[in-house]
């Protein structure tokens, strides 16, 4: 019971240590959702910082205010074409106003005129509805004269009515027209005057302006006009100093890259609303991406490098090197993350940053986004096989030059003139950011517990303090680790794994044996085995403890968490079957848990591979004393692999059947080279040479060998 309790406690201790220090933030929380929340908060903090810096350094003093006079004259930076809404509206208004009104015949007025003409014909002064004075004047005339005047006035009224119906004169007859018509009748002057007065009263306008029809005609005329388009070229004046900045001018200025001086509340609000979707986007885009080790994506680290690249992009814009900030993101991502994950991080981070940093300026959004896409794609193929800081700087600088070429091409496409100062700024920024990536890598590795190829090279160097200690105090374990690293590296290269990581993990997987090296067979000299005089349970306790003690040494020597996982997982939960059977044979009341490693089982392909290589190498080495045939080696490899699978040690590792086949083939080929033997005949079996010169075939063979030796000289 006590042994089980100790095993449980040991398992808990290992679980606490296996993730390593995890950087500054690794011990903050254990829930993945809290890491995602932390990542979102980091992105929001960087985004808000960039927006505020943009407003404080540039927009506050040099920007413009909507609906106020311009503080300076603004010139076009890029060629553009836009629809002038304000000019279009003014032109359509002027064209519509050219329609004074649509005149239509007034049917009521026409009917009224017909009735009055009929009243004149009938001599009905009451139906004629003249003014009182004129009615009295006509009524006082002698009846024959009154009838004659009314008849003549009715005839003239009919003429004007017919003229309006024919369309010859649709308006009201003028005074001159009425007098001319009367004078043609050759009436006495006194009668002419009375007829004129009667016609002046009854000939009212027979037309009117139709307001609805007028509005419709105006609208049709306005709509028939095409929108007014404006074309501006670099150097053209957009807004003069003191000119009132309308909403349209504000849009044009923003499209040209000029900023508004108002406090960026809307931009900050957009950042706060949009950033929580960042983890969702990353999960969707990287659903099938497998990390080298670890159980979840390093959200805090991902958010930090993306946010830091936004800050670098903002600083690059201050020196007129727009788009170069993605070089920092590409460098840090591809050196510390799996390429598939890094590709999505660089793409997403650059696209989001192009909107946040540029303030939605069309040119700058296109420029920053395009350069970011190029960086993501080129970095995927270019930032590989980094074996030194010099190589890394050269690759980063060449990637920066590629970005610079894209920036120049986009500026040329937009018609922006380039000067030597701008080109030099791009060149210098490329060199500076390449140096910054190399400078901050150790800091990122320390704070966020990520690992880069350079760090793996340092860990794999024999001059590392822990490896030197292992070499001096446990030379057998040291050489075993080196051999295991070579074996695992060759297999990892074949199946497309991170071979540098596997090799480094193999070098440190058994460092726990430093505490008691004499208890492990590779460090024992002669035929004396210290375990022969110990109880099986004590022997098992000492051997199993090397995992926990290895993690303690890893913590002491500040090894990365990814290396600690090799230490914790390379034995999984396998059983020390020899000591367990020995205890059972001695009649001791023990349980299998007391003789089992505390785990955990391998959680990644890399640690799973190390478990297989370690177990296969030990089994092959043990059995080489009795057999050395290829068939026997193959059977041993098959037995170990099947044993690990059947015991569930590889349940969390996504090895395919093809992977396992390659592992078997590669190890078989390597072991053939390592453990080959030479079949040399005993000297007593050699027959004496014949007197006639010996065997003819042997002589021929000797001659060929002699010739080949001479030719090589």
Closest CA to 342 of 410, 289, 405, 401: 289
Verify that 274 and 408 share a domain, yes or no.
Answer: yes
> What is the per-residue pLDDT for 207?
72
Boundary of a domain, candidates 448, 472, 487: 448
> What is the per-residue pLDDT for 169?
57
Q: On the CB side of 323, how many CA atoms lie within 13 Å of its CA?
A: 31
Which secondary structure element, helix H or strand E, spans residue 74, and what is its range? strand 74-75
> What is the per-residue pLDDT for 366?
87
Verify that 460 and 442 share a domain, yes or no.
Answer: no
Verify that 596 and 489 share a domain, yes or no.
Answer: yes
User: Could you read off the pLDDT of 55-73 as tens digits, one per residue?
Assistant: 888 766 667 778 888 877 8
Q: Which residues make Cβ contacts (< 8 Å) with residue 671, sequence separation at least 6?
A: 620, 633, 637
Residue 704 lies in a domain: no
Verify that 436 and 393 share a domain, yes or no.
Answer: yes
Write out 436-473 in H/E/C secondary structure.
HHHHHHHHHHHHHCCCCHHHHHHHHCCCCHHHHHHHHH
Verify that 290 and 415 share a domain, yes or no.
Answer: yes
Verify that 140 and 36 share a domain, yes or no.
Answer: no
Residue 689 lies in a domain: no
Closest CA to 559 of 438, 458, 443: 458
Residue 91 lies in a domain: no
Low-confidence ranges of the chain (pLDDT < 50): 1-9, 11, 14-16, 18-31, 293-295, 680-681, 683, 686, 689-694, 698, 705, 709-710, 712-713
CA 568 to chain centre: 35
> What is the per-residue pLDDT for 48?
92
Residue 709 lies in a domain: no
Residue 249 lies in a domain: yes
Q: Which residue has the tokens 């680790």?
A: 481
> What is the per-residue pLDDT for 695?
54
Verify that 517 and 592 share a domain, yes or no.
Answer: yes
Boundary of a domain, candidates 448, 478, 506: 448
The DSSP string of 593-644 is GGGB---PPP-SHHHHHHHHHHHHHHHHHHHTTT---HHHHHHHHHHHHHHH
Cα–Cα distance between 45 and 406 in angstroms, integer?
Answer: 30
> What is the per-residue pLDDT for 624?
72
Quote the DSSP letter at residue 687: P
Q: Which residue has the tokens 């809290």?
A: 34
Question: What CATH number did the domain enclosing 321 receive?
Answer: 1.10.1760.20
Residue 227 lies in a domain: no
Please check whether residue 552 is in contact with residue 593, taking contact to mean a CB–CB distance below 8 angstroms: no
With 0-12 / 13-18 / 19 or more C-beta atoms within 10 angstroms meaning exposed / middle / buried, residue 247 is: exposed
Verify that 364 and 247 share a domain, yes or no.
Answer: no
Domain count, the chain: 4
Verify that 244 and 268 share a domain, yes or no.
Answer: no
Q: How large a percentage of the chain has pLDDT more than 70? A: 85
pTM: 0.69
Residue 217 lies in a domain: no
Question: What CATH number did the domain enclosing 506 receive?
Answer: 1.10.3210
Verify that 120 and 250 share a domain, yes or no.
Answer: no
Residue 404 lies in a domain: yes
Boundary of a domain, candidates 258, 291, 323: 258
Verify that 551 and 641 share a domain, yes or no.
Answer: yes
Verify that 277 and 368 share a domain, yes or no.
Answer: yes
Range of the domain at 286: 23-62+262-448
């Amino acid at each position: 019971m006590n042994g089980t309790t100790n095993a449980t406690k040991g398992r808990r201790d290992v679980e606490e240590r296996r993730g390593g220090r995890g950087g500054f933030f690794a011990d903050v929380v254990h829930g993945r959702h809290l890491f995602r929340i932390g990542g979102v908060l980091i992105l929001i903090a960087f985004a808000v910082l960039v927006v505020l810096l943009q407003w404080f350094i540039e927009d506050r003093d040099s920007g413009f205010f909507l609906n106020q006079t311009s503080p300076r004259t603004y010139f076009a930076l890029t060629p553009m074409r836009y629809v002038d809404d304000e000019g279009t509206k003014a032109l359509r208004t002027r064209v519509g106003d050219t329609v004074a009104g649509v005149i239509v015949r007034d049917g009521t007025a026409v009917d009224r005129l017909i009735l009055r003409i009929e009243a004149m014909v009938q001599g009905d002064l009451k139906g004629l509805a003249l003014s009182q004075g004129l009615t009295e004047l006509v009524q006082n005339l002698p009846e024959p004269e009154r009838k004659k005047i009314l008849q003549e006035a009715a005839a003239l009224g009919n003429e004007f009515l017919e003229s309006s119906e024919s369309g010859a004169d649709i308006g009201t007859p003028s005074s001159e027209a009425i007098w001319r018509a009367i004078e043609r009748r050759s009436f006495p002057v006194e009668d002419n005057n009375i007829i004129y007065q009667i016609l002046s009263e009854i000939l009212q306008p027979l037309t009117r302006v139709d307001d609805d029809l007028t509005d419709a005609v105006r609208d049709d005329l306005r709509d028939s006009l095409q929108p007014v388009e404006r074309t501006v070229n670099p150097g053209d004046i957009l807004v003069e100093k003191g000119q009132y900045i309308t909403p349209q001018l504000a849009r044009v200025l923003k499209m040209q890259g000029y900023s508004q001086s108002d406090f960026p509340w809307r931009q900050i609000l957009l950042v706060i609303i949009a950033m929580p979707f960042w983890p969702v986007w990353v999960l969707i885009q990287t659903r099938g991406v497998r990390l080298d080790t670890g159980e979840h994506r390093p959200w805090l680290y991902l958010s930090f490098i993306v946010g830091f690249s936004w800050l670098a992009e903002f600083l690059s814009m201050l020196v007129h090197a727009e788009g170069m900030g993605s070089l920092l993101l590409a460098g840090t991502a591809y050196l510390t993350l799996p390429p598939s994950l890094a590709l999505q991080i660089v793409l997403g981070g650059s696209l989001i940053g192009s909107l946040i940093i540029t303030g939605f300026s069309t040119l700058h959004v296109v420029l920053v986004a395009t350069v970011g896409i190029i960086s993501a794609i080129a970095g995927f193929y270019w930032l590989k096989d980094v074996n030194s800081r010099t190589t890394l700087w050269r690759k980063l600088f060449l990637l920066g030059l590629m970005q610079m070429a894209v920036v120049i091409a986009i500026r040329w496409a937009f018609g922006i003139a380039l000067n030597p100062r701008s080109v030099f700024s791009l060149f210098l920024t490329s060199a500076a950011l390449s140096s910054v990536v190399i400078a901050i890598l150790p800091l990122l590795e320390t704070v966020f517990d990520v690992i880069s190829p350079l760090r793996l090279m340092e860990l794999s160097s024999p001059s590392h303090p822990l490896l030197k200690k292992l070499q001096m105090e446990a030379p057998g374990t040291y050489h075993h680790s080196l051999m295991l690293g070579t074996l695992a590296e060759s297999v990892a290269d074949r199946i497309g794994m991170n071979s540098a990581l596997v090799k480094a993990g193999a070098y440190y997987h058994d460092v726990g044996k430093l505490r008691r090296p004499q208890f492990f067979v590779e460090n024992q000299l002669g035929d004396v085995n210290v375990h022969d005089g110990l109880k099986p349970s004590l022997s098992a306790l000492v051997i199993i403890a090397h995992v926990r003690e290895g993690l303690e040494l890893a913590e002491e020597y500040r090894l990365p968490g990814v290396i600690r996982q090799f230490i914790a997982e390379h034995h999984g939960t396998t059983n020390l079957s020899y000591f367990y059977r020995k205890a059972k044979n001695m009649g001791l009341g023990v349980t299998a848990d007391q003789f089992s490693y505390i785990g955990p089982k391998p959680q990644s392909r890399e640690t799973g591979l190390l478990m297989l290589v370690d177990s296969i190498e030990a089994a092959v080495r043990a059995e080489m004393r009795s057999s050395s045939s290829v068939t026997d080696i193959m059977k041993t490899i098959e037995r170990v692999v099947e044993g690990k699978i059947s015991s569930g040690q590889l349940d969390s590792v996504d090895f395919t059947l093809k992977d396992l086949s390659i592992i078997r083939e590669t190890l078989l080929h390597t072991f053939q080279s390592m453990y080959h033997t030479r079949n040399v005949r005993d000297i007593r079996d050699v027959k004496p040479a014949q007197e006639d010169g010996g065997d003819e075939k042997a002589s021929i063979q000797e001659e060929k060998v002699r010739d080949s030796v001479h030719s090589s000289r």
